[in-house]
Amino acid sequence: MAATSLIDRAIAVLRLNDTGIFTKPGPHQYPHQWNWDSALIALGLSHFDLPRAQQEILSLLSGQWRDGMIPSVVYHSIPSDYFPNPEFWQIENSPSAPGVSTTGITQPPLLATVVQMMHTRHPMTDFVREVYPAILHWHRWLHTDRDADGSALACIIHPWESGTDDSPRWLHLFEAIRPEALPEFQRGDTRHVAAIERPNPRDYERFIYLIDVFRRLNYTPGELLKYSPFLAQDVLFNSILFRADEDLRALAKSIGEPTEEIDTWLNRMQPNFNARFWQEDIGLYYDYDMRTGKSIPINTASTFLPLFAGLPSKEQAQRLVEGHLLNPGEYAPNDSLRHWVTTTSQTEPTWEARRYWRGPAWVIMNWFIIEGLKRYSYDDLADTIRRDTVGLVETSGFREYYDARDGSGCGSTDFSWSAALAIELSQSSKSNP
């Protein structure tokens, strides 16, 4: 029997996780619909089934809150052993909650970028008209209800909103949080994946404690900004938002909608982004802790996300790439680390080879970095990382993340965005938008 191709195997994973209404990120570990996973899944699906890709996006939008927030998870009444379950969030106490079960927090706003990529490749004006108002509403919410200092930068109130849950960027902030009267809970995530590859118990307690604070505040946006013990401006989140604003603007233009409001966000964000995050002395972008008013001096791969948004100058890009990404002491492969791109610099004392966002390579991060490198004409390096990433999924399967030392897989198996991005990375050439 002829061996099936990588793309056929990737399509099979997306079909396996397809519930008919939405696609699960992973068959056991993640049985509901996640926000930025869905955007990437739609991008992968669009290569072979555009109507199904559009359906994925409409399913996600069905969970939108009345104030515009698109939540991190839409539960879709699928019974599961996932924790936190819908009841835990108590979103019904908020007047903005939708009629379906969701979480009460958001995730990085990748959707506009994916819709724009799909529209560029397969013009779909009617669909853009249909989804544009909902995406605009979400961006408006991010630039108002999550703007704590008038900079147009968005704040996150929970590490889960960063999409990089236990990244060492958040450890200092967690040190200052002392959970009192923690609600009773039982973790579900270590049932399917080895505990060594998941967040440690101390971090997890704080994840849950924060949700308890938010539900006691009934998810009122002003109160969350005022009282959330965790409040940060995140380089990754704001890079994705800036790029998504640009893409939203392009979508608006293509359907004849006004762009002034989006222009205001973009014009305010650009200088504020560099002023807030760029560290001239070391040539890195650092996240910012709004509670202490200090930069968070931790070197992770999210420092490369601004490249994806075109935010650094040529000189800044050069310092990021040549000073850090290509440095074998930090990110580039070396004698003991064979693969691109470890999510945390190896110089960080908290680096761990197999623990979640503490060190492993993730296909999503590699994709952001590849796209960013192409934007700054580092085409050869982009192609090296692209080939290495496709090699990882070829050899170790569609895993959630990979041990960058030897390429072995970690976390969930049959992981949807690794499959979706394998299709994207195999099909897109250097010159694709």
36 forms part of the interface with ligand GLC (CB under 6 A): yes
Distance set, CA 266 to CA 141, 142, 174 (Å): 15, 13, 31
161, 165, 330, 403: the catalytic one is: 165
Strand partners, 74: 33, 102
Which of residues 37 and 145 has its CB atom nearest to ligand GLC in the complex?
A: 37
Q: How far apart are CA 60 and CA 71, in angstroms?
A: 9
The region of 32-40, 147-155, 218-226, 241-249 touching ligand GLC under the rule CB under 6 A is 32-40
Looking up tokens 């270590």 gives 190
Q: How far apart are CA 351 and CA 94, in angstroms?
A: 39
Number of residues in contact with ligand GLC, rule: CB under 6 A? 7
Which of residues 166 and 381 has its CB atom nearest to ligand GLC in the complex?
A: 166
Distance set, CA 375 to CA 372, 415, 428 (Å): 5, 27, 14
30 forms part of the interface with ligand GLC (CB under 6 A): yes
Choice from 147, 165, 371, 403 touching ligand GLC (CB under 6 A): 165
The region of 34-42, 129-137, 193-201, 297-305 touching ligand GLC under the rule CB under 6 A is 34-42
Looking up tokens 């990979």 gives 402
Name the 3-class secondary structure at 332.
coil
203 forms part of the interface with ligand GLC (CB under 6 A): no
| Per-residue DSSP letter, 192 | T
Supply 4's token pair: 């099936």
Choice from 10, 22, 25, 269 touching ligand GLC (CB under 6 A): 25
Q: Which of 277, 273, 276 is nearest to 286 (CA)?
A: 277
34 forms part of the interface with ligand GLC (CB under 6 A): yes
Quick check: 79 and 19 in contact, CB under 8 A?
no
Bond into 86 cis (ω within 30): no
- Cβ at position 167, least distance to ligand GLC in Å: 9
- Cβ at position 36, least distance to ligand GLC in Å: 6
Q: Is 165 an active-site residue?
A: yes
246 forms part of the interface with ligand GLC (CB under 6 A): no
400, 403, 414, 424: the catalytic one is: 400
DSSP 19-74: -SSSB-SBTTTB-SEEHHHHHHHHHHHTTT-HHHHHHHHHHHHTT--TTSPPBSEE
163 forms part of the interface with ligand GLC (CB under 6 A): yes
414 forms part of the interface with ligand GLC (CB under 6 A): no
Q: Which of residues 37-66 bind ligand GLC (CB under 6 A)?
A: 37
Which of residues 204 and 227 has its CB atom nearest to ligand GLC in the complex?
A: 204
Q: Which residues in this chain contact ligand GLC in the complex, by CB under 6 A?
A: 25, 30, 34, 36-37, 163, 165
User: What positions carry a catalytic annotation?
Assistant: 165, 400
